[in-house]
Amino acid sequence: MADTITKTRNSTNIISRDPSKFKVIFYNDDQTPMDFVVAVLMKIFKHSEPAAIDLTMKVHNEGKAVAGVYNYEIAEQKGMETTNHARHSGYPLVVKVEAE
């Protein structure tokens, strides 16, 4: 009979990663009023009024701005909620979710 040698490995490599983050980005258009964008940033994204005004001005001046960074599900929910609210109000506001 042949002798069998068995080796057991006692260590385990565990790799943990933080969940991916996603940016919710507002894009500028010529039809959505700034007051509406400020209100959405305050209501849905929980920004203070001064922060919402600053972000709105950034969207206006630079063409886009990041409204927030979240886990995928939350970013997608906030993006959809914003788009639905804008369409219901008759505005073409464009909001996209992109990986950070």
* Predicted local confidence at residue 9, as pLDDT: 65
Report how far residue 13's alpha carbon sits from residue 44's, in angstroms, rounded to the nearest whole number: 41
* Residue 99 pLDDT grade (very low, low, confident, very high; cuts 50, 70, 90): very high
* Predicted local confidence at residue 1, as pLDDT: 57
Does residue 13 carry a pLDDT above 90? no
Domain ranges of the chain: 21-99
The encoded tokens of residue 89 equal: 């109000």
At 26 the three-state DSSP class reads strand
Q: Look at the pTM and tell me if it is higher than 0.85.
A: no
| DSSP secondary structure letters along 33-100 | -HHHHHHHHHHTS---HHHHHHHHHHHHHHSEEEEEEEEHHHHHHHHHHHHHHHHHTT---EEEEEE-
Q: List pLDDT tens digits, range 34-79.
A: 999 999 999 999 999 999 999 999 999 999 999 999 999 999 999 9
Architecture of domain 21-99: 2-Layer Sandwich (3.30)
